[in-house]
Amino acid sequence: MVLLPTKKKNRNRPRRSNTSSRLLESNGPDIKIKGSASQIVEKYLALSRESQSSGDPIAAESYLQYAEHYQRIIDYNELKIQRSQSHSAEEQITSNGHDENVQSKEKTIAKNQSNSDDMERRKMIPVAIEEQSIGK
């Protein structure tokens, strides 16, 4: 018996970012549709139009609900891609050193917040002491 080399998993590779082209399988009310999310949406919209024209408004609405579900999947994937792109752009700006202005503004905001917190504490301490003295 000859031992074959086993495949090692490459755990350093990035995950797939383009989930919109991923193949899905939809188990609809009476049919099974395979394809990308956008293809499934188009198919359900076509089935809805067909049902509406044949006089079955209930089936048409059902198909529209399935289409809406897969449209939400498409919208979510697009939002996720936009967020990852904007996040990577922010990281690139920060790593290039063009972000010094933003960092100084953040420090100023943090100082102002800590100063306002201190002022609020100073206002609260005399009130608490006054309440204790009134109670005695």
**Same domain, yes or no, for 87 and 121?**
no
Residue with the two structure tokens 């939002």? 79
Is residue 77 domain-shared with residue 127, that is, in the same domain? Answer: no
The CB-side HSE value for 89 (13 A sphere, CA atoms) comes to 6
Domain that holds residue 119: 100-136
How many structural domains are present in the chain? 2
pTM here is 0.52
Q: Does residue 45 sit in the same domain as residue 94?
A: yes
pLDDT number for residue 36: 92
Contact criterion met (CB below 8 Å) for 89 and 96? no
Q: Tens of pLDDT along 60-94?
A: 999 999 999 999 999 999 999 999 888 777 777 76
Short-list 16, 115, 26, 118, CA closest to 69: 26
SS3 26: strand
26 and 88 both lie in a single domain: yes
Query: What one-character DSSP code corresponds to residue 64?
Result: H
Could you report the per-residue pLDDT of 3-12, keeping only the tens digit for each? Answer: 556 666 666 6
Task: Provide the β-strand partners of residue 26.
Answer: 33
**Domain check: are 126 and 93 in the same one?**
no
| Claim to verify: residue 57 and residue 115 sit in the same structural domain | no
Q: Is 92 in the same domain as 32?
A: yes
